Chain A
Amino acid sequence: GAVVSQHPSWVICKSGTSVKIECRSLDFQATTMFWYRQFPKQSLMLMATSNEGSKATYEQGVEKDKFLINHASLTLSTLTVTSAHPEDSSFYICSARRQRNEQFFGPGTRLTVL
């Protein structure tokens, strides 16, 4: 149990387009979902925390209008990178938290913006 999926696993897009990444908890209801960004050879940077039905809480320095997060249900959160630029190219990882503060990570989505 406790599987988190992400879709797509990788995406290539042109500069200026928007990209949506889905994060699903497949076999449990997640009270909270998190979005991380990972640069090459670096640690995970928490971007935002989202709770179902409420607005996401963004970390300092993360643009809310750039990275739109929608947590529509207890099993689905989406991250939309709007008007993507090459500097947005990165590995995006989501995680989902269920009871007892256990956090489970998705496999990640590699975004490449040309």
Chain B
Amino acid sequence: GDSVTQMEGPVTLSEEAFLTINCTYTATGYPSLFWYVQYPGEGLQLLLKATKADDKGSNKGFEATYRKETTSFHLEKGSVQVSDSAVYFCSSQTGANNLFFGTGTRLTVIP
């Protein structure tokens, strides 16, 4: 079955630092890949997605590229802000199946 493995946190960075959160997936088919963000006390919000190999999802300065050869979908941002502090979830979905989530990575950005 499908599964998602993402980098364990927590991650603490200074403002304007470069961010990478690793995510790899296993799937029987060709999944769509997502990054969700959860701010404190809130539900999940879709941050970005990619539906096929070599697609790059981007939003709010975050990027992730669907790499079929390495089964990865790493999240990156060139310069993080304090407001980016949140928990980030990588997830995959094959066809009409359910979403599979990674364990989440807590990011704290300090001024």
Which of A11-19, A41-49, A63-71, A79-87 participates in binding chain B? A41-49
Main secondary structure on chain A at its contact with chain B?
strand
- A-chain residues with CB within 8 Å of residue B96 when the two chains form the complex: 101
How many residues of A are in contact with the other chain, CB < 8 A? Answer: 19
Tally of chain B residues near chain A (CB < 8 A): 19
Given known pairs A43-B89, A44-B89, A46-B98, the reply for A105 and B103 (CB within 8 Å) is no
The answer to whether A44 touches B42 (Cβ under 8 A) is no
> How many Å lie between the Cα of A93 and that of B45 in the bound state?
12
Pick from A42, A105, A110: contact of B44, CB below 8 A. Answer: A105
| B93 contacts A by Cβ under 8 Å | yes
Which chain B residues border A95 with CB–CB below 8 Å?
44, 99
* Interface, chain B (partner A; CB < 8 A): 32, 36, 41-46, 89, 93, 95-96, 98-99, 101-104, 106
* Contacts A49-B98, A105-B43 supplied; 6 other A-B pairs, CB < 8 Å: A42-B104, A43-B103, A93-B44, A95-B44, A106-B43, A107-B43
